[in-house]
Each structure stands twice: as structure tokens, then as C-alpha cells.
Amino acid sequence: MTTLQGYAGSNNHHVNTILVVDDVPENLRLLEDLLSGQGYKINATTSGHLAVQSILCNPPDLILLDIIMPEIDGFAVCKKIKGHEKSKDIPIIFISALDQPEDKVKAFNSGGVDYITKPFQAEEVIARVNTHLSIRNCYKKLERQNIELAETARLKEEVDHLMQHDLKNPLTPILSFPKLIRNNRHLTEKQSKYLNQIEQSGYRILDMINRSTDLIKMERGIYQLKPVPVDIMQVLERACGELESVMKTKHLSAEIMLNKQPISDKDSFFIFGEEFLCMSMLGNLMKNAVEASKEGDTIKIELDNLSTSEIRINNRGTVPEQIRERFFEKYITADKDRGTGLGTYTAKLTAETQGGGISFETSESNGTTVKITFPSS
């Protein structure tokens, strides 16, 4: 005799379904009464072949499987179930009168997750079923979360692509008007300088938009670095140039030393990396140093390539104690009305992507020093 009960599940409250396979009707009725009393939906069959068909049509959450059955035994049924993509992850508990160690080993080798010996104790069956269904439910929840995370990542990439397209439109006049204005021969030297700064900043924003997807790849650890020699001197000059107006307002100065000596126009300091990443890294760190400095301070930049390649940026401000342990984490900021908390995070990300390391020290007496270390080239 074969009985197959229907499965009725709610989207809001999932009821676990158990398939019981045993060729003895009395055993089926006993297990049905026991497990349905625990709130489970029970499907039951006395045939191994029908069990496989039922599982492929309507996969249960767990299977209780006898071993000794006509036509096809439990071991063969288990292997068939595990051989189908649709059913391979369903946990199978063998429940059998066979109690020899070799039988249990064979059951586990065929794909079972547990083994109950007949005659069974009701409490034991319930405990083992509850345990494996809890594991199964956690596994399915993780699967759903992974699917949701993948979908979220896909949507984020789509939004990023749209943002890149939309942000480029207002950049058009910023990049094109300076060229038109330069046709006016009555521009002062200061006006020409301001136009150059506007144009350079526009191109940097355009470059950042074009490379924003690269930052996402860096976060995921899949960015393909194409290192070339980058002169940090030139990168620092550009970074300081973009902050010139703010530094003038606060009467700040920048002092750059190379191997403990003042730099000259002929000096250079190369690391292997990418210019865009170095500009992002040092631009963020210099901006933070400027914001943390008090009026009239000097920002000290020390470059050292005697042993390893090191860049040290010092300002007289101190990092608030409440954020020191999370200084390089994403969205961590303090005492900034418009701070995003991305500056030090991005600096860490770009430094590590280029094979470097980053750290900081802060104290009332020495201010804050951020140190970036790169392997010797």
C-alpha cells in the first residue's frame, strides 16, 4: 500500500515536509503519527521507486529512509536521490533494523547524514529530525541570503553605471568652457591659473567617475593592478595644488623632505603602482591633514627610500580617541560636519591594492602621522 499526502506550505510560515519511506505500513503509520504531532507535513510511501519520483516532483525538507525494501533497497534509493541536482542537498536519515557497523558505514557512504536503529525510541527520532531540519533550514536561509546579496551587488553595479553616465553631463561645461574663455586675451595671470585649476579638477572628477567601478573591484579583491613607476613627487605636487586655496585660507604650509633632506627640483621618488591610485591615496590623506591642521600649521611630508619606500604625512592634529581603533574603517569620522568617513578607508584600500601597508600614530605631543610603506622597487 502506498499513500502520498499533499504538501501545503505558507509563504509567511514555512512548514517543513518529511518524506517517510518504509515498506511496512505499520511503521509508516507510527512515524506519521509521531512526526505530524510535532507539526510537520508528512509524505509517506512504501516504494523506493515512487519515493524517487515524488522527491523529484516535490522535494521534501528531510527524508526518513528504510534500507530493506523490495525491488530497490535504501542504499540505492539514497544514491539516486544524491545523484540529482534537484535533490542532492536533502538530508537523509536511515532508519533500519540493521545494526551492524558495516551497514551504518555503507549508509553514510551512500549519502546519509544520520542512522537510527529499529526498534526506535520516539524521543530519539524527534531529536534527530529536529536537529537535521534546523541545520537544513539554516542552510536554506543562507542560500536565500546569498541570492539576495548577489542581486544587491548586481543592482549596485547598475546604479553605479547610471551614476557614471548622469554625472558626466554636468561636467561638460566645466571641461569645455575654460577653453572658450582662454580665447579672451585680456585674462590676468591669476584668472588663467584659476581656469587651469577648474579644468584639472574637472578632468580628475571625470577620471574618478570612469574608475569608480575599479574601487568596487578593489573592495572585492578582484582588481587587476597594472603597476608602472610612479613619481610620488609629482603626485604630491598635484595633491597640494588642488588644496592650495584651502591651505591659503588657513595659512598652512607643506614641508617635503627626502631621506631627511629638503627636496630640490631634480629629486624624484618612485614606487611601482598606478598614478590614479596614488593620487586617490595621497589626495585623501593630504585633505585629512589639511582639515585636521590649525591655522598657521605646517604639514610635514617625509619620503624615505633608504631601506623600504616610506611616505609619512604628519599634521599637528590628533585623532579622537573614540575612533582610533577604527581609523581606517569605512564611514568612520568624527568632528566633521560634512565628513563621509571614506578618506582613510580609500587610502588604505588603494595602498594595499598596490602591495603597500598603512598605519598611523597619534599623540598630543607629536600630532598624527600616517605612514605608507611599499616594497623596495
User: What is the secondary structure of 334-354 as a DSSP string?
Assistant: -S-SS--S-HHHHHHHHHHHT
Q: 80 pLDDT exceeds 70?
A: yes
Residue 90, pLDDT score: 94
Contacts from 160-163 at CB under 8 Å and sequence distance 24+? 160/212, 160/213, 160/216, 161/213, 163/209, 163/212
Q: Which residue has the higher pLDDT, 5 or 18?
A: 18
Residue 161, pLDDT score: 62
45 to each of 34, 49, 63, 168, how far by Cα in Å? Answer: 16, 9, 11, 65
Cα 333 from chain centroid (whole Å): 21
CA-based max dimension of the chain: 104
Residue range 300-325: mean pLDDT, rounded: 92
Residue 316 near residue 367, CB atoms below 8 Å: yes
Q: Strands 41-45 and 17-21, how do they pair?
A: parallel
Residue range 201-210: mean pLDDT, rounded: 75
Instruction: Please state the CATH superfamily assignment of the domain spanning residues 17-120 in this structure.
Output: Response regulator (3.40.50.2300)
Q: How would residue 171 be classed by pLDDT, with cut points 50, 70 and 90?
A: confident
Q: 181 pLDDT exceeds 80?
A: yes
- Using a pLDDT cut of 70, give the percent of the chain over it: 90
Residue 3, pLDDT score: 39
| Domain(s) of CATH 3.40.50.2300: residues in the chain | 17-120
Q: 73 pLDDT exceeds 90?
A: yes
Q: 342 pLDDT exceeds 90?
A: no
Residue range 106-132: mean pLDDT, rounded: 93
Q: 377 pLDDT exceeds 80?
A: no
226-377 topology per CATH:
Heat Shock Protein 90 (3.30.565)
Residue 276 near residue 223, CB atoms below 8 Å: no
Q: Is the pTM of this model over 0.85?
A: no
Residue 218, pLDDT score: 87
Residue 51, pLDDT score: 92
